Chains A and B, each alone.
Chain A
C-alpha cells in the first residue's frame, strides 16, 4: 500500500472545471469554456493513466491510498474521506475519465449552437467529479455521496432543455425512481453500522472497504439481507427490473449525455458496487443468485422490447438495460472481473453507438425516427463505419471486444454452481441472439437501402464529433485485449483461475451460433429497409409487436398505478393527518381547552364588589393562618 495524495487531483480537477465554468462560463467565449471543460478531464485521464501504470506494473499488488480528512465523527463512528486506487477502481477510473474525455470533445461539436453551452459543461464536469468520488472513495458513505452526486447530475442533464415539459418530467422520473433504490442502499449502510455496533460496542468504525472485508465474519449472518438491500440500490441506479423504466425516458437529454451517463458510466455504478463488495456477496449464495437472476431476466426482457422500437435512441436505451443485465449476471455468478470487463467494453461500444446515433440525429436535423432514415451509409460515411464496427462488437463478432467480454460472462454462468445458474445461462444465450438481431435491424434500417426523402440532405458531422467516434470504434475492436493481455483477468481482480479453453468451448460455440442466427434473420428481414416479409410478420403478430413497442405495458400500468397510489395516500394524509389530527384534534383541542377554562373562571367574576371582598378577606385569613402556623 502506498500513500499518494496526488490521487485527489483526479476527482478535484473536474470539480474545479465545473466551478470555473459555473462562475465565469457565461461571460467567456465558447472556445474557453470548451477548453477548460475538456482540459480538466483530459488531465485527470492522464493522471489516472500514470497511477494505473503503477498498479498494473506491479501486477495488482500496489494499492494507492490518498490520505484524506475526517468527515463525520460521532462517537464510535468516524468516516474519513479517503481515496483508494486499486485494481478495480483503477479500471473504473480509466473508463470514466477516458470515455468522459472523448464525450466532452464530441459535445463541443454537438452542443456548439446551444444557448446553455457553459451550463452543459458545468454539469458534465460535475458529473465526472461525482462519478470519480463514487469509484475512488474508500468507504460506503463516500461512495454514497458520489452515488447521489451522479444522480443529481443525471437529473440536471436529462432535464437540460427544461423548457420542454416532457424532458423536465423525464428528469424527475429518473430522480424519483433512483430515490427508491437509494433508500435500499442507505438502509444497507445503517444495517452494517448496526451490526458493527452490536459486534464490538467499544471499537470505532468507519465503514471503509478494508474494514468491511476484515469484519466479514461479523457480517456473515446478515450477509443476505445486507447484500439484497445494496442490490436494491444497484437496481435503481443501473435500471434493472423492476426499476428499469426511467432509463428509456432519460434519452430526453442531449445525446452525448445519454452516451456518457446513461450508457457508459453512471448506470454501471451498480455493477461496480456489487463487484466492489464481492466478498459480501460471496457470503450469500442466495443474494448472488438473485443478482444473477434479475440480471438475466432484465437482459432478456429489455431485448424483447428493443426489437420493435422505432426511435434510434430508444433501441440503444433498451440495449443498454439489456447489457447491464448481462453485467449483473456476470457479477451475480461471482465472475466479478468478467462483469467489470463487460462494463468496460460496453462503455466503449455503447458510447460509440450513442455518439454515432447523435451524429445521425445531427445529420438528420434532429430526426430520431428510424423509419424516416435509410441509405445513410454514403451520406455520413465515417459515422456509418464506426457505427458498423460498434454493432459488430455488441453483436459478438469473434475477437471484437464485446465478444470477448460477453463470452466471459456466459462462460462463468455456464460453469457456475449457483442455484438457477443453468437457467440464467439459457436466458442470456437467447438474449445474445436477440441482441445481434435488434442491433443489425437498427443498422440495416438506418444505413442501408435507398435514402429516404428526409435523408437526402444529410451531411457528415464536424471532426470534433467524428474523431471521438473513430477512437471509440478502435477501442471497441481492441478493447477485448485489454484484460487478457494487459491485465490478466482472473489474477487482476483476485479470483479463482478462469476455466480452460476446452471447458469454455461449448458456451462459446453456442453464443456464436445464436449470434449468427440473429444476424441472419435481421439480414433477411431488414437489409435495405424493412422487407415485405418483415411487414407481413408485423401485421400478423400485430398485438405482440404493439405490446413489445409499448414495453409490455409496464410503463402504462405504472403510470396509472403509481400516481393513483400517491394521490390516494396524499388524500388520506390530508384528510386524516392534516385535517383531522392537526386541525381538529391538536388545534381544535387546544382552543376548546382554553375556552372551557375561561368559561369556568368567568363564573367567579359576578360584578358584586362585596363578593370579591369576602374572597379577599377569606384569602388573607387563610394566608395569615398558614404563616402563623409556620412560624410556631
Chain B
C-alpha cells in the first residue's frame, strides 16, 4: 500500500508544477497543458482523500472533474485555433486586446 502522505505530496507537487507552468509559460498550448496538470493533481488529491475516508464520494468527484476537464480542453483548444487563425500566434503576451 502506498501511504497517504505520498499520494497527497505527489498531488501537491504536481499542482505546484502546473501552477508555475500556467503562470510562467507564454505558449498557449503549454498553458493549457499546465491547466490539465493542475486538474489532474486535484483529481489525485480527491481520490487520495476518498481512500483515506474509505468512502466513494472522492472517486465520483474525480470522474466529474475528468468530464469537465474534457469539455474545457475542447473549448479551450477551439479558442486557441480560432485565435491562431486570426493572429498567427500562440504567444499569450501578444493577445491582450481586452485591456484598460
Contacts and interface: CB of A to CB of B under 8 A. Distances in A.
Interface of A: 602, 605-610, 613-614, 617
9 contacts: A605-B99, A605-B100, A606-B96, A606-B99, A606-B100, A609-B92, A610-B92, A613-B22, A617-B19
Given A607-B100, A608-B96, A609-B96, 11 more contacts: A606-B99, A606-B100, A607-B96, A607-B99, A608-B92, A608-B93, A610-B23, A610-B26, A613-B22, A617-B19, A617-B23
B6 interface: no
Contacts of B96: 606-609
A617 B24 CA distance: 13
B98 interface: yes
A607 B97 CA distance: 6
Nearest to A614: B23
Nearest to B19: A617
Contacts of A613: 22-23
Nearest to B34: A613
A460 B12 CA distance: 119
A614 B96 CA distance: 16
A382 to B, nearest CB: 95
Interface of chain A, main secondary structure: helix
Interface in B33-88: none
Contacts of A610: 22-24, 26, 31, 92
A617 B100 CA distance: 21
Contacts of B31: 610
Nearest to A617: B19
Contacts, number: 29
Contacts of A608: 92-93, 96, 99
A624 to B, nearest CB: 12
Nearest first, the 9 closest Cβ-Cβ pairs linking A and B are: A607-B99, A607-B96, A606-B99, A614-B23, A607-B98, A602-B100, A608-B96, A610-B23, A613-B23
A613 B99 CA distance: 15
A617 to B, nearest CB: 6
Interface string B5-21: 00000000000000100
Nearest to A609: B92
Nearest to B97: A607
A609 B98 CA distance: 10
Most buried by B among A602, A605, A608, A610: A610
Nearest to B93: A608
A380 to B, nearest CB: 92
A512 B19 CA distance: 117
Nearest to B31: A610
A59 B98 CA distance: 98
A10 to B, nearest CB: 80
A607 B95 CA distance: 8
Contacts of A609: 92, 95-96
A602 B23 CA distance: 22
Nearest to B25: A610
Contacts of B95: 609
A221 B72 CA distance: 89
A630 to B, nearest CB: 21
A110 B92 CA distance: 97
Contacts of A602: 100
Nearest to B24: A610
Residue of A602, A605, A606, A613 with highest tally of chain B CB at under 10 A: A613
Nearest to B28: A609
B13 to A, nearest CB: 16
A597 to B, nearest CB: 15
Contacts of B24: 610
Contacts of B26: 610
Contacts of A607: 96-100
A214 B42 CA distance: 90
B99 to A, nearest CB: 3
B42 to A, nearest CB: 13
B50 to A, nearest CB: 21
A602 B99 CA distance: 8
B84 to A, nearest CB: 15
A459 to B, nearest CB: 92
A610 B34 CA distance: 12
Contacts of A614: 23
A617 B15 CA distance: 12
Contacts of B93: 608
Question: Which of A606, A607, A614, A617 gathers the greatest number of chain B CB atoms within 10 Å?
Answer: A607
Residue from A605, A609, A614, A617 having most chain B Cβ neighbours under 10 A? A609
Contacts of B99: 605-608
A605 B99 CA distance: 6
A522 B96 CA distance: 104
A67 to B, nearest CB: 77
A610 B28 CA distance: 10
Contacts of A605: 99-100
Contacts of B92: 608-610
A609 B99 CA distance: 10
B16 to A, nearest CB: 10
A170 to B, nearest CB: 66
A610 B96 CA distance: 10
A584 B100 CA distance: 28
A566 to B, nearest CB: 52
A540 B81 CA distance: 112
A61 to B, nearest CB: 92
A613 B95 CA distance: 15
